[in-house]
Amino acid sequence: MKECPEIKAALLGFGTVGGGVYKLFQRQKDEFPRKLGACPVISRILVRDLSRPRRGADPSLFTDRWEEIRDDPEIRIVIEVTGGIEPARTRILEALRAGKNVVTANKDLMAEHGAELLAAAEENGCDLLFEAAVAGGIPIIRPLKQCLAGNYITEIMGIVNGTTNYVLTRMSRDGMDFADALKKAQELGYAESDPTSDVEGLDAARKIAIMASIGFNSRVVFSDVYTEGISGVSAKDISYAAEMGCCVKLLALARCTPGGIEVRVHPMLLPLDHPLATVNDSFNAVFVHGDAADDVMFRGRGAGELPTASAVLGDVAEISRNIRCGCTGRLGCTCYKQIPIKPMADTENRFYLRMQVEDRPGVLANVASVLGNNRVSIARVIQRARTLDSAEIVVVTDLVRERNLRDSLAVFGGMSVIREISSVIRVYQG
Ligand code: NAP
Ligand code: HSE
């Protein structure tokens, strides 16, 4: 057999993803020599709390001292799966400055400090790969950066958060309560350590910022993304959506338009015959539109131990080959344009509005007149539930400028006949 150089790697974090990465290293170790021409091995594992029992890995590998890894010249790859901004950012910078290649699953970090980290990788001739940071087991970073390099990409749209997709699926399919569905998603290892990130759309916003930066070759950061989560979506909205032949999904969307980059995350009513409507549970899917390839769709498990570890191992394999061939640091930052971000108020959408109004003659006409005065055209009205003196109405609009809809909502807020605006959800326009 050909000689197979050992490549030492350190694992930072041994939680859901770290545990999965360790398992896949064990499963693949006999394949590595022929697959990669090199044998990556985990030689150290960093955790916060050394006293916690760790199942499945040699106890002598564990440390809580980052310096032991940073200062070990034999460690060539650092796999960061701890999460959060600090100390992960400082550790990655120190690893790169020490000439170590880095794999990370950390979207928080890449969406806010990607430019800084990629610049450090380039300066030090190292690889910094982050396939697991977006859509778990789905290969999307490498396809966007490399396989679709022959395209002008104009749209990226998808379901990129496994937790919220799981929650919405269980609420609509099994009538499960929001809190119970979220608890189950946490038990399954899909959720972030603080699940607010998932529920409020922040995790998806980080992922679309990363994809938009790569797809449009122009830096988009987390704070550029207009973000709404699913905490305002109720069982009632899901039931009205079903009545209209739709489901509710948390979508991430980025478009490169002549007026700038439109980038947002929010719930959306999707027709049941739309391909994304069939993406359920922890599955994610991403559509990419390029001028040459046309529509391309990626689908797979967006979260969880082994799907995420699969993406990490792909990066480790790539780096191992690069180390063997002496060509790390080949592929750095590809954001060479500066395209402005389009304000959300200038975008166009269709809307579903659910509101509680006084149940008396003329109220519906009032609602219609406010919308009309603000150039919001109505496509559909449903009136269903009625209590003693109040009625629930649902209005679906045609495609309208976001600013005009917001102006209408501001007027509704000052009208005594409108008791509550219960939900405002965008509706897919094909
Ligand atoms: P997790 O289960 O909470 O595990 C985090 C691990 O990191 C734990 O072992 C923890 O040590 C260690 N850690 C945290 N802070 C540390 C510090 N300051 N120093 C040393 N060790 C530290 O998290 P996870 O779900 O595996 O997620 C890890 C990363 O992958 C995050 O960036 C997340 O966004 C990303 N990600 C997760 C998924 C998923 O499905 N879970 C998918 C894609 C990407 P202790 O064990 O001692 O507490
Ligand atoms: N919390 C994330 C999700 C993990 O639910 O999609 C994968 O990035």
Quick: pLDDT tens for 87-98. Answer: 999 999 999 999
Alpha helices (H) along 326-401: 363-373
Round to whole Å and give the CA distance between 256 and 343: 13
Ligand 1, atom 36: closest residue by C-alpha? 105
pLDDT of residue 385: 66
CA of 19 to the centre of ligand 1 (A): 10
For residue 73, is pLDDT > 60? Answer: yes
Contacts of 364-369 with CB under 8 Å at 24 or more apart are 364/393, 366/415, 366/417, 367/393, 367/395, 367/412, 367/418
Nearest-atom number in ligand 2 for the CA of 160 is 6
Instruction: Beginning with the edge strand found earlier in the chain, give each strand of the sheet holding 6-12 in spatial order.
Output: 62-63, 39-46, 6-12, 75-80, 101-104, 128-129
What is the predicted pLDDT for the residue at 2? 61
Closest ligand relative to 305 C-alpha: 1
Say what the pLDDT of residue 164 is: 98
Spatial neighbors of 427 by CB under 8 A, at least 6 apart, are 246, 268, 269, 349, 350, 351, 352, 396, 397
Q: Computed from CA positions of residues 223, 88, 199, 216, in that sequence, does the dihedral angle turn out positive or negative?
A: positive
Q: Where are the beta strands (DSSP E) in 19-148?
A: 39-46, 62-63, 75-80, 101-104, 128-129
| pLDDT, tens only, 389-402 | 889 999 999 999 99
What average pLDDT does the segment 134-152 reach? Answer: 97
Q: Does the annotation mark 107 as catalytic? A: no
Compute CA 97 distance to the chain's CA centroid, rounded to the nearest angstrom.
29
Predicted TM-score (pTM) of this structure:
0.96
What is the three-class DSSP state of 296? strand
Per-residue pLDDT of 401-420, as tens digits, reads 999 999 999 999 999 999 99
Residue 191 makes CB contacts below 8 A (sequence gap 6+) with 163, 182, 185, 198
**What is the crossing angle of helices 202-216 and 107-123, to 10°?**
40
Ligand 2: list residues with CB < 6 Å: 136, 161-163, 190-192, 198, 203, 302-303
